[in-house]
A and B are shown apart, each in its own frame.
Chain A
Amino acid sequence: DVKVTQSSRYLVKRTGEKVFLECVQDMDHENMFWYRQDPGLGLRLIYFSYDVKMKEKGDIPEGYSVSREKKERFSLILESASTNQTSMYLCASSLYKASTNEKLFFGSGTQLSVL
């Protein structure tokens, strides 16, 4: 089975801090995604990447950046954390970049609280 691992289950940070959320997948998937999940809003796509060093903005990229230096690792960076970035962050991966019907494999999520 594919495993998508997020480095932290819970994280508490202060306003203004730089925050790194890490995600690793172990099945050589081409695509990786970062979503945030908020009650009543479902999942919203922040950024995704279909190849090493490639990235595309999702629907809510403001205040975030990403890094994909290796195929298996996709990092989400909050340059200066703010309280409105308190949320559950979900990482996902899928196999083929050219396909639009691929199954997503999700990590367990990181609950980030910004105080």
Chain B
Amino acid sequence: SQQGEEDPQALSIQEGENATMNCSYKTSINNLQWYRQNSGRGLVHLILIRSNEREKHSGRLRVTLDTSKKSSSLLITASRAADTASYFCATAVDTGRRALTFGSGTRLQVQP
């Protein structure tokens, strides 16, 4: 079963614009991770935010976490054509379980 639901399912923007993707989940979590996947290939780990953190930055990425609303957002600033990919959020329920529960993903298309 998928815990995370992502919104929107698909997003098309122009190069240079910002892209925001949202993720909602159902149960309490230990951490939430964002991954990128290019065209049916492996997943690339982008960022991990723990349940006691509210915001995290990594380069052009900004992730927020609101545990009271059970939601997270991923912001990609100044997008590039190379950012075109599917983006998934994944939640880890507790540190003892490695199973990540993935959302359905957002397909981002960045037009050059």
A binds B: no
Binding site for A on B (CB under 8 A): none
Binding site for B on A (CB under 8 A): none
